[in-house]
Amino acid sequence: MKEETLPGEAALDDRITLRALESSDMDAFADIMSLPGVRRGTLSVGYRRPGELKAWYERRLKSGVSVCATIGGRVVGHAGLEVQRHSRAHCAYLGLAVHDAYHGRGVGSALLQGLIDSADASLGLRRIELTVFCDNAPAIALYRKFGFVEEGRSRGFALRDGILADVLHMARLVDAPRLQTI
């Protein structure tokens, strides 16, 4: 995967590095999933235990791609593509979470760019789907920046803070891959 440096920052400790998520990252992943902003902004239930996340990781992402972003060696974000099967093998479902303290620093963009590069160049995916809360304006702006468009809205989709909340269904669809001639 790529290494990306935040604009205007040259210190090595500020560099965003993407790498494959590994079993040894589950403690850091669980910490991120338990943060207030992550719990509120994602469809996860939060307060996930490392063992629970490891089982999920091994079960759901075997056929997909799962990356983490690090800054100065610290895991600050995670994103994954869960590739679908059979007649939907050209599709993947996207999940993304960034540590509360690292919002607005390019972590989400780096994660999303890395996954899209992998989806387009290696996995041959033509469609990436996601679900996002309607009031999560920063996430919606990020997804639009990478070519995702709104395909629908589900009212009362998920319980958040004791209230049913609406979500948007978004997707990025690319043209059929072209054949390469030798």
Is 132 part of any domain?
A: yes
Residue 51 within any structural domain of the chain: yes
**Cα 61 from Cα 82, distance rounded (Å):** 6
The 10s digit of each residue's pLDDT in 11-50 is: 445 899 999 998 889 899 899 999 999 999 998 877 778 8
* Number of domains the chain contains: 1
The pLDDT of residue 164 is 97
Q: 178 lies in a domain?
A: no
Residue 180 lies in a domain: no
How many whole angstroms separate alpha carbon 114 and alpha carbon 32? 19
Sorting pLDDT into bands at 50, 70 and 90, what band is 179?
A: low
Q: Could you give the 3-state DSSP secondary structure of residue 122?
A: helix
pLDDT interval class at 90 (50, 70, 90): very high
> Is 135 strand, coil or helix?
coil
Q: What is the CA 164 to chain-centroid distance, rounded? A: 23
Residue 131 lies in a domain: yes
Average pLDDT over residues 69-81: 96
Residue 182 in domain: no
In a domain, 103, yes or no: yes
- pTM assigned to the model: 0.85
**pLDDT per residue over 47-62, tens digit each?**
778 888 778 777 766 6
pLDDT tens readout for residues 123-177: 989 999 999 999 999 999 999 999 999 999 999 999 998 999 999 999 999 985 5
* The pLDDT value given to residue 60: 65
**The pLDDT value given to residue 13:** 58
- Domain of 159, in residue numbers: 3-173
Contact call for residues 129 and 91 (beta carbons, < 8 A):
yes
- Round to whole Å and give the CA distance between 111 and 33: 16
Assign 86 a pLDDT band (cuts: 50, 70, 90): very high
List b or e across 31-45, with b for residues whose CB sees 16 or more CB atoms inside 10 angstroms. Answer: ebbebeebbebbebe
C-beta separation of 165 from 133 below 8 A: yes
* CATH number where 135 lies: 3.40.630.30
Q: Is residue 128 part of a domain?
A: yes
- Residue 182's pLDDT band, with cuts at 50, 70 and 90, is low
pLDDT grade for 180, boundaries at 50, 70 and 90: low
- Can you give the pLDDT at residue 4? 46
